[in-house]
Amino acid sequence: MVCFQAFSQSAAEQIKDMLSNYRVSIKYTYSDSAGNEIGNGLATIQGHCYKVIENSTVFCCDGTTLWTKIPGSKEIYIENGGGPNDLFGNLDSIIDKVSDLTLDGNRVSFKLTLQGIPDTLDCRATILGKTNYSEDLKDFRLEAVDYDRLWTITDLR
């Protein structure tokens, strides 16, 4: 007689598996411990690459370079990306540090404490979709040629 034990992945393992195998689009919010929403946005994540739109600011990282586009002041900052403090670029390691992580269908919630922020953040996300990984990383880059001379481009690399 052969017995098979059903293996159930934890929420963290399921999310890590999804992030390592797909390009994932999410809508997220985060609040302080009093329930006041601090921010929200849309993100597309593929491995260490991401595009995040929060308010009107756009963050694009191809795993090596991070572009930050601030339309209100017509500024673009270019810097090294993907370092250890790059939140969206290191979601696997961040997932290991969260508490109260739950995954219910396409809804994710967790609490996160970040260095330099005195309050624990209450984070909620909805997975909007997932597609196959792509070798084409153009969605995770900003090209300076797309902006007129009125934009200030600061290269901090």
What confidence tens digit (pLDDT) does each residue in 71-88 have? Answer: 999 999 999 998 777 888
pLDDT of residue 146: 61
Q: Is 150 exposed, middle or buried (0-12, 13-18, 19+ CB in 10 A)?
A: exposed
Written as six digits, the tokens of 149 are 């001379």
Across the chain, which has 157 residues, the per-10-residue mean pLDDT values are: 54 92 96 93 95 95 94 92 82 86 94 84 95 93 73 90
pLDDT of residue 147: 67
Q: List b or e across 66-94, with b for residues whose CB sees 16 or more CB atoms inside 10 angstroms.
A: bbbbeeeeeebebeebbeeebebbebeee
pLDDT of residue 3: 41
pLDDT of residue 97: 84
Q: What is the pTM of this model?
A: 0.85
Q: Are 78 and 155 in contact (CB under 8 A)?
A: yes
CB contact set of 3 (below 8 Å; sequence gap of 6+): none
Q: Quote the CA–CA distance of 61 and 80 in Å, as a whole number.
A: 9
pLDDT of residue 4: 44
Q: Tell me the domains of the chain and their CATH numbers.
A: 22-155 (2.50.20.10)
Q: Quote the CA–CA distance of 16 and 26 in Å, as a whole number.
A: 14
pLDDT of residue 117: 78
CA atoms within 13 A on the CB side of 51: 12
Written as six digits, the tokens of 114 are 């970040």
Token pair 């953040």 is found at: 121
